[in-house]
């Protein structure tokens, strides 16, 4: 039996298709998706996972239509202002935003930074990737490594990922933490985000425990 994952990556995708299939609005689909992300992250915390990194928006996603982005922003603000404080203990859990803050709307940024200030616990970490680009992260790590005199591999803010779950069947990372995910187990789902269950998450963890953790050896 192998150890369970310490760090899980979540790529919550397919919400536009879910809205179309279920005859609902984008706003409703994304709000439901935000609640489902909290349910998944909470389940992972209770299963002993130490870090969860959630792909909220890539930099490329910012080129989407305004109505799509407005739905994402509204759900994300609800996530930061209500869902996270209501479901996680700030003495236990921390939240950190990663990405280019200069290109995010002020209302989104204000909600995220207020949540960062509140959630500062040492035992469970939630990383939110927004306006994230791997090249930006690499350049920042290079500058940090030069400044601190350390190897670039030690200069990343986010550690290696053990398991990545994407809620669409397309076998793509779409730029999600490519260096940290180089030895991660990848799971691509036909089940939409909003239809995932706690049992599904338990099954993924059990599957990971059976997965050979060789990391190139």
Number of domains in the chain: 1
pLDDT of 217 > 80? The answer is no
Give dist(CA 123, CA 156) in Å, integer. Answer: 19
pLDDT digits (tens, 9 = 90+) for 170-201: 999 999 999 999 999 999 999 999 999 999 99
- Using only C-alpha atoms, the chain has a radius of gyration, in whole angstroms, of 17
What's the domain range around 46?
7-210
Task: Write down the pLDDT at residue 1.
Answer: 42
pLDDT of 214 > 70? The answer is no
Question: Would residue 2 count as lying in a domain?
Answer: no
Question: Would residue 176 count as lying in a domain?
Answer: yes
* Band of residue 140 on the pLDDT scale cut at 50, 70, 90: very high
pLDDT of 135 > 80? The answer is yes
Task: Write down the pLDDT at residue 210.
Answer: 86
Higher pLDDT, 1 or 39: 39
Read off the CATH number of the domain in which 110 is found.
3.40.1180.10
Task: Write down the pLDDT at residue 142.
Answer: 94
pLDDT of 2 > 60? The answer is no
Question: Would residue 16 count as lying in a domain?
Answer: yes
Q: Which of 30-44, 50-64, 145-159 has the lowest mean pLDDT?
A: 145-159
Question: Would residue 171 count as lying in a domain?
Answer: yes
pLDDT digits (tens, 9 = 90+) for 141-151: 999 999 999 99
Task: Write down the pLDDT at residue 215.
Answer: 66
Question: Would residue 215 count as lying in a domain?
Answer: no
The residue behind tokens 């050896």 is 217
- The three-point CA angle 135-59-174 to 5° equals 75
Q: Residue 148: which H helix or E strand, with range?
A: helix 134-148
Question: Would residue 135 count as lying in a domain?
Answer: yes
pLDDT of 3 > 60? The answer is yes
Average pLDDT over residues 150-162: 93
pLDDT of 206 > 70? The answer is yes
Question: Would residue 71 count as lying in a domain?
Answer: yes
Burial 202-211 (b: 16+ CB within 10 A, else e): eebbeebeee
Question: Would residue 122 count as lying in a domain?
Answer: yes
């Amino acid at each position: 039996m192998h150890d369970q994952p310490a760090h899980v990556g979540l790529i919550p995708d397919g919400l536009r298709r879910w809205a179309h299939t279920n005859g609902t609005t984008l706003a409703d689909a994304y709000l439901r998706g935000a609640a489902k992300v909290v349910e998944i992250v909470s389940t992972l915390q209770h299963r002993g996972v130490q870090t969860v990194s959630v792909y909220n928006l890539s930099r490329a996603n910012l080129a989407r239509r305004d109505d799509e982005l407005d739905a994402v922003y509204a759900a994300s603000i609800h996530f930061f202002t209500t869902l996270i404080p209501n479901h996680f203990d700030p003495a236990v859990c921390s939240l950190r935003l990663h990405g280019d803050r200069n290109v995010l709307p002020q209302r989104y940024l204000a909600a995220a930074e207020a949540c960062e200030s509140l959630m500062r616990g040492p035992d469970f970490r939630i990383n939110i990737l927004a306006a994230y680009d791997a090249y930006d992260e690499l350049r920042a790590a290079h500058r940090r490594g030069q400044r601190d005199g350390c190897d670039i591999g030690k200069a990343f803010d986010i550690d290696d990922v053990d398991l990545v779950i994407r809620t669409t069947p397309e076998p793509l990372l779409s730029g999600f933490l490519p260096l940290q995910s180089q030895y991660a187990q990848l799971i691509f789902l036909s089940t939409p985000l909003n239809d995932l269950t706690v049992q599904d998450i338990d099954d993924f963890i059990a599957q990971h425990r059976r997965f050979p953790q060789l990391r190139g050896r």
